[in-house]
Amino acid sequence: MILTTAIIIGIVALGALGMSGRRSTTMADWTVSGRGFPRWTSWFLQAGDSLTTFSFLGLAGIAFGGGVVGVFALAYLSICSIGLYFVAPRIRQLGEERGYLTQADFFTDRFNSPALGKVSALVGAIFLLPYLQLQITGLGLIVELATGSEAGRGLSMVVASLLVVVFVVWSGIRGIARVAVVKDVLMIAALLIVLGGAVFGIAGIPDTFAHIHSVGPQLLDFSQPGWDSTFFLTAVVVTSIGAGLNTFPHLWPPVLAAKSGEVLRSNYKWLALYQLMLFAPIIVGLTATQALAPDTTGNHVLLDTANATLPSWLVAVVAIAGASAAMVPAAAIAMGISSLVSTNLVPVRESLRFRLNTVFVIGAIVLSLGFGLANSDIASLLLLTYGGLTQMAPATLIGLRRKVTVGAVPVLLGMVVGVVTVAWITFFEVPIGSWDSGLIALAPNLVVLVVAEAVRRRSSPTTASDARHATAARA
C-alpha cells in the first residue's frame, strides 16, 4: 500500500508540473506555442518519444524472448535521426510559411486536396489510438508489477489519464515540454538503476553472454521463431521509413514548434547518440534469462528483474520513471489525435474549434483507457501503429519536394490501399511469417500510386501540367 501511494503521489506531481504556467487560449498557441521553442526545450520534447513505455517494458521482453534482435530499435531510431536531419527543417519551413498546425494541413496544402487532408487525418487518428493505448496499458502494468496490486494498476491508469487530460487541455505543448524534461532525467536514472540491479544482482555482462552462448546460443544469432533476421530487417526498414519521414502525426507539433531548422538539425545529431540508452533494457532482458522462468511474459521482464534485485524504495523510483515514460507520449499522442480531428475532420468555426478540441482530448484518452484496462501486447501495438502510419510515407516524400508533380487522387488511392492491407493482415491474422505488415503493405500502396498517376497523366496531361504549376507556386 505504501509503495502504491508513493507511485500515485509521483504521478500526481508530474501532472501538477504539466499544469504549471499560463493556459493556452487558441489552437495555434496550444499546438505550436508561437513556433519559438529554443534548443533544449525542443530537444527534450523530441527526446520524449524515444524512451517510452515500449523502451521500458517491450524492449526488455523482446530481448528476453528473442535475444539480440532487440537492437532493431537502436537501428531504426538511429537511421530515422539521419532522415529527420533533412526532413524536419523542411517541414518546419513549410509549416511556418503556410501556417500548418497538423500533418493533415501539410497534405491538404501540398496536394491542394481537402479530401486527402481529411483521409490522412482519419488514418492518423485511428492508428495513433493503439499507440495511446500502449502508453496507458504500460503505465498500469508498471504499477501492478512494482506493487503486486491489481487494484493499484487500475487506479494508477485512471489517475494518470485524468492528469494527462487536465494538463494537456490546460497548457498544450508547453506542459508536455515541461514534463518531458523531468521524464527524461527520471528514465535515464531508472534504466541505469535496473541495469545495475541486473548486473550486480544476477550476473555481469560478460557472464551473461557466456551463459547465453552455452545454453541458448539462438538468442545471439537472430534465429528465434518470430524474432529472426527477417523480423529484424523488415522491422528496421519499415520503421526507419516511417519515422525518418515523420509520418507520425503526434510528432509534427514538436517539429513545427521549434525556433528554427538549425535547432532541429542540432537535436537530431544528438538524438542518434541518445538511442544508446536502449542498450540498458536489452541487457536487462538478456540478463534476466538467468533468473526468470522461461515462460515469463515479455512485458513483465524488466519490472520482475527490478523486484528481484532492488530494494522497494528504488523500485518506486523506477515505477515513477516508467509512469512518466507513459504520460509524456500519451499527452503528445492525445494532442496529435485531437488536433487532427478538430482542425481537419470537423468543420466548425474557429471560435468553437478550441473548445471542441477539449472534447476530443477527453474522448481519445477515455477510449484508450477503456481498451487499456485489458492486457495488451506492447510490442505488437507499437508495430501496428508503425505499419499503418508508414503508409503515408510516399505522400510525405512527394509533398516535401519543391514541385509536387503527382496528383492527389493517386496518392490518396495508394494510401488507402496500404492502410487496408495493414488492417487486413493484422485483424484477419494473415500468415506472413516474420515479415512486417507495414512493409508488405507498402508494395500495393506504391503500385496503386504509380498506376493511378500514369492513368491520370495519360488521360489529362493539361490538368497535370496545371497542377504542377499551381503547386510550384505554393512551394
Query: Sorting pLDDT into bands at 50, 70 and 90, what band is 463?
Result: low
Q: Does residue 280 fall inside a structural domain?
A: yes
pLDDT value at 379 more than 70: no
Cα dist from 117 to 102, 243, 282, 339, 444, whole Å? 10, 20, 39, 13, 21
Percent of the chain clearing pLDDT 70 (strictly above):
94
Q: Give the mean pLDDT of 194-211.
A: 94
How many domains is the chain built from?
1
> Any idea what the CATH number is for the domain that residue 279 is in?
1.20.1730.10
pLDDT of amino acid 383: 65
**What mean pLDDT, rounded, does the chain reach?**
89
Query: Sorting pLDDT into bands at 50, 70 and 90, what band is 137?
Result: confident
pLDDT value at 372 more than 80: no
Contact call for residues 266 and 92 (beta carbons, < 8 A)? no
Contacts of 221 (CB under 8 A, 6+ apart): 67
Q: What is the pLDDT of residues 235-279, one digit of tens each?
A: 899 989 999 999 999 999 999 999 999 999 999 998 888 889 999
Which letter, b or e, does each residue of 378-400 get, where b requires 16 or more Cβ atoms within 10 Å of its Cβ?
bbebbbbbbbbbbbbbbbbebbb
Percent of the chain clearing pLDDT 90 (strictly above):
61
> In angstroms, rounded to a whole number, what is the distance separating the alpha carbons of residues 114 and 117?
5
> In angstroms, rounded to a whole number, what is the distance separating the alpha carbons of residues 197 and 312?
12
pLDDT of amino acid 373: 76
Q: What is the pLDDT of residues 439-452, one digit of tens each?
A: 999 999 999 999 99
Report for 50-54, 178-182, 351-355, 395-399: range of highest mean pLDDT: 395-399
pLDDT value at 55 more than 60: yes
Q: Does residue 220 fall inside a structural domain?
A: no
Q: Does residue 441 fall inside a structural domain?
A: no
Q: Does residue 334 fall inside a structural domain?
A: yes
Least confident window among 105-119, 263-277, 392-406, 457-471: 457-471
Q: Give the mean pLDDT of 160-185.
A: 90
pTM: 0.91
Q: Does residue 225 fall inside a structural domain?
A: no
Q: What is the pLDDT of residues 406-433, one digit of tens each?
A: 999 999 999 999 999 998 998 888 999 8
pLDDT value at 473 more than 70: no
Q: Does residue 86 fall inside a structural domain?
A: yes
Q: Does residue 384 fall inside a structural domain?
A: no
Which residues lie across from 37 on neighbouring strands? 258
pLDDT of amino acid 380: 58
Query: Sorting pLDDT into bands at 50, 70 and 90, what band is 475?
Result: low
> In angstroms, rounded to a whole number, what is the distance separating the alpha carbons of residues 296 and 298?
6
pLDDT of amino acid 130: 85
> In angstroms, rounded to a whole number, what is the distance separating the alpha carbons of residues 205 and 283?
8
Q: Give the mean pLDDT of 382-400.
A: 89
The range of the structural domain enclosing residue 258 comes to 2-214+244-378
pLDDT of amino acid 351: 75
Cα dist from 174 to 12, 84, 92, 316, 398, whole Å? 18, 22, 18, 27, 31
Burial of 123 (0-12, 13-18, 19+ CB in 10 A): buried
Q: Does residue 420 fall inside a structural domain?
A: no
pLDDT of amino acid 63: 94
Beta carbons within 10 angstroms of residue 434's beta carbon: 18
311, three cell numbers: 530494494
Sign of the Cα torsion 420, 424, 430, 434 reads: positive
Query: Sorting pLDDT into bands at 50, 70 and 90, what band is 96?
Result: very high
Q: Give the mean pLDDT of 131-158.
A: 82
pLDDT value at 302 more than 80: yes
Looking at residue 24, the DSSP 8-state letter turns out to be P
Nearest to 305 by CA among 323, 295, 292: 292
C-alpha R_g of the chain: 22
Cα dist from 396 to 103, 150, 172, 188, 402, whole Å? 9, 43, 25, 33, 12
